[in-house]
Amino acid sequence: MGSSKISSLSLTSLANIIPIKLNNENYLTWKTLFLPVLKKYKILDLVDGSRPCPPQFLTTQDRAANSINPAYENWNDDDQTLLLWIHSTISDSVIPYVVGSTNSKDLWQSLEKRFSVSSSSHAIQLRTRLQELKKGTSSIHQYLNEIKLISDSLAAAGSHVSDQELVILSCHIK
């Protein structure tokens, strides 16, 4: 793939597509917004490892003549552009987790490793909160909105709440 397509998206436009900065609480939301960008610009293969870095030089003569492999140049341009995109969408609090990542695959894997455990525990906390939710003095409208909010958060965390469970929760007002 040539670099022209990926280079056509400016950082300003990216900020409109991904209006949030990745922080310690919103990884799944950030990832949900970022994945379609990777698919649209056909660069998901850079972060999943299915498009590895080509050799910088094809032969020892190329190395001696400093003649760089065009496939390497295209890959490197795309990779460094994606690296800039990711960096532009992470908050200051997340930067320490990605220091030292020199390519987009390493950066993406660092983020996945850092946030996968916290995302699972967050989903467990949300499910517990949903199961323990009480109407109390809230209006029925507020109570149902809270169920929806938690349910939507669970869906964003990859832990969908079935319609049957929502009906049961809505009918068993505590």
What is the residue-level pLDDT of the chain in tens, covering all 174 positions? 444 578 788 888 899 899 999 998 888 889 999 999 999 999 999 999 999 999 999 999 998 999 999 999 999 999 999 999 999 999 999 999 999 999 999 999 999 888 876 667 778 888 999 989 988 898 999 999 999 888 887 876 778 889 998 888 888 776
Is the pTM higher than 0.85? Answer: no
pLDDT at 104: 97
DSSP string, the chain: --SHHHHTS-HHHHHHHS-S-B-SS-HHHHHHHHHHHHHHTT-HHHHHSSSPPPPS-SSHHHHHTT---HHHHHHHHHHHHHHHHHHHTB-TTTHHHHTT--SHHHHHHHHHHHHHHHHHHHHHHHHHHHHH---TTS-HHHHHHHHHHHHHHHHHTT-PPPHHHHHHHHHS--
Helix 140-156 × helix 27-40 angle, to 10° = 50
Tokens of residue 2, six digits? 């040539």
Domain extents for the chain?
11-119, 133-173
- Note the Cα 28 to chain centre separation in Å: 6
Distance CA 155, CA 148 (A): 10
Q: How many residues does the chain have?
A: 174
Cα–Cα dist 129/118, whole Å:
16
